[in-house]
């Protein structure tokens, strides 16, 4: 069975222009990827006030991964796994800090008396 002709391949002899529907164009863009770049610059009397650099990469997830782009997997606002990992890391850091503070507590009290607060008042009254 012959392979289907690619509407983007142009034969050697010119013929009528070929048209592609939106689905074909979108499939090709997502498969290959497309980069749209632009800069917006606002100057006043040759003084640069604002520069905005826009870079847009439109592709499928697989194409983006092949290009080394996978930030959505590590952004907690976009990935449930990343959010759980961020929460687990925060919990680990808090537990370590609590352990440090608890380790310092016995040295703050002397001979069974309650430690004074930084303002000089005794705690636990």
- Kindly give the confidence (pLDDT) of every residue in the chain, 125 residues in length, as a single tens digit, with 9 standing for 90 and above: 555 555 555 555 566 666 778 888 888 888 888 878 888 899 988 888 999 998 888 888 888 888 787 777 777 777 777 778 888 888 999 999 999 898 888 765 554 555 555 555 555 54
Report pTM.
0.37
Cα–Cα distance for residue pair 64/41, rounded to 1 Å: 28
Is the distance from CB of 33 to CB of 58 less than 8 angstroms?
Answer: yes
The residue length of the chain stands at 125
Q: What is the per-residue pLDDT for 93?
A: 93
Task: Look at the alpha carbons of 110, 114, 118, 119 in this order and tell me if their dihedral is positive or negative.
Answer: negative
């Amino acid at each position: 069975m012959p392979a289907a002709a690619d509407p983007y391949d142009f034969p050697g002899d010119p013929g009528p222009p070929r048209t592609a529907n939106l689905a074909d164009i979108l499939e090709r863009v997502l498969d290959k990827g497309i980069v749209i770049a632009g800069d917006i610059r606002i100057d006043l009397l040759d003084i640069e006030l604002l520069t905005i650099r826009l870079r847009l990469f439109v592709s499928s997830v697989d194409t983006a991964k092949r290009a080394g782009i996978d930030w959505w997997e590590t952004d907690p606002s976009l990935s449930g796994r990343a959010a759980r990992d961020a929460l687990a890391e925060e919990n680990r850091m808090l537990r370590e800090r609590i352990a440090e503070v608890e380790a310092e507590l016995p040295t703050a009290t002397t001979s069974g008396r309650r430690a004074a607060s930084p303002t000089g008042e005794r705690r636990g009254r």
